[in-house]
Structure 1
Amino acid sequence: MEINEKIERSKTNIFKAVFPNTVNHYDTLFGGTALSLMDEVAFITATRFSRKPMVTVSTDRIDFDHPIQAGTIIELVGTVVKVGNKSLKVQVDIFVEQMYCDHRGKAICGEFTFVALDENKKPVSVL
């Protein structure tokens, strides 16, 4: 299978409702919760691409462009954006939409770097 096909097949979309137990004192999604969800989607995307054990080794810039209010729906979209020998990068975007109208926009984006590991926890090719 070609790399472009693997990238397309590994794209991951997850939807969540933003409930009161996930927000901060401003009634917006807690940043740590957003990062946790993003890392989870990035991990799933990386694993679907390589089909090998993957670990997060770094995150690049995470941009919190717009607050995410309680009572909204979010979609997390993970896409492989760079493939190296033993590592790959996954971009994760969070889109927010209102529950009862069609408004939708990107609220958060960031990149996560993963390394593939063998059974001895040593880096191996992601392909």
Structure 2
Amino acid sequence: MHLEERIEKSETKQFKVVFPNTLNDHETLFGGVAMKWMDEVAYITAVRFSRLKMVTISTDKIKFKHAIKPGTIAEITGKVVNMDKFKLDIQVEIWVENMHSYDRLKAVESVFTFAAINENGKLISLKDMRLEPEFN
């Protein structure tokens, strides 16, 4: 499988409704909840891409561009944007849609960096990825 195809097949999207239990005292989505959602999508993307055990090793500056209000739909997307021998970078964005209109905007973005580990928790090369998928 070519790298481009592998990247495309590993793109991940999750949707969440912003409910009151996820809000801060400003009545917008709590930043920690947004970061949790982003890390989860980044992790799923990294595993789907590599089919290895992956761990988060860093995040780029998380940019909160717009407040996320209750009663909106959040789409969290993850896509591989860079890979070297030991690290995998995942671009993660949160897009927000109004439930009752077609308004949509990018609210949060960052790059999450992952590394592959073995069963003993030791760093391994991404060259150990399976070359072919087990299924389509």
Give your verdict on TM over 0.5: yes
Q: How does 1:100-111 map to 2 (within 5 A)?
A: 100-111=100-111
Distance 2:11 2:56 in 1: 17
- Cα separation, 2, equivalents of 1:105 and 1:76: 12
Aligned-pair identity in percent equals 53
Structure 2 letter corresponding to 1:104: R
1:86 deviates by: 1.4
Q: Which residue of 2 aligns with 1:52?
A: 52
Q: Cα offset for 1:68?
A: 0.2
Q: Which residue of 1 aligns with 2:3?
A: 3
Q: Structure 1 residues 76-85 or 117-126, which shifts more? A: 117-126
**Following TM superposition, by how much is the alpha carbon of 1:113 offset from its aligned partner in structure 2, in angstroms?**
0.4
**Aligned-partner Cα distance in 2 for 1:57–1:37:** 16
Per the alignment, residue 133 of structure 2 pairs with none
Counterparts of 1:63 and 1:91, CA distance in 2:
12
Residue type at the aligned position of 2:36: S
Could you state the TM-score of these two structures normalised by the residue count of structure 1?
A: 0.98
Structure 1 residue runs of 4 or more that deviate by more than 6 Å after TM superposition: none
Q: How far apart, in 2, do the equivalents of 1:3 and 1:83 lie?
A: 10
**Equivalent in the alignment of 1:41:** 41
Name 1:16's counterpart in structure 2. 16
Segments of 5+ residues of structure 1 without an aligned counterpart are: none
Describe the SS at the equivalent of 1:61: coil
Residue 27 of structure 1: SS of its match in structure 2?
A: coil
Separation (CA, whole Å) in 2 of partners of 1:25 and 1:96: 20
CA offset digits 1:23-80 (Å, max 9, x no partner): 1111100000000000000000000000000000000111000000011000000000
Paired residue type of 1:115: A
What is the root-mean-square deviation of aligned Cα atoms in Å? 0.7
Q: How many corresponding residue pairs?
A: 127
- Find the aligned partners of 1:5 and 1:125 in 2 and give their Cα distance: 20
Displacement of 1:101 in angstroms is: 0.5
User: Whole-Å Cα distance in 2 between the matches of residues 7 and 83 of structure 1?
Assistant: 10
Alignment partner of 1:68 is 2:72: no
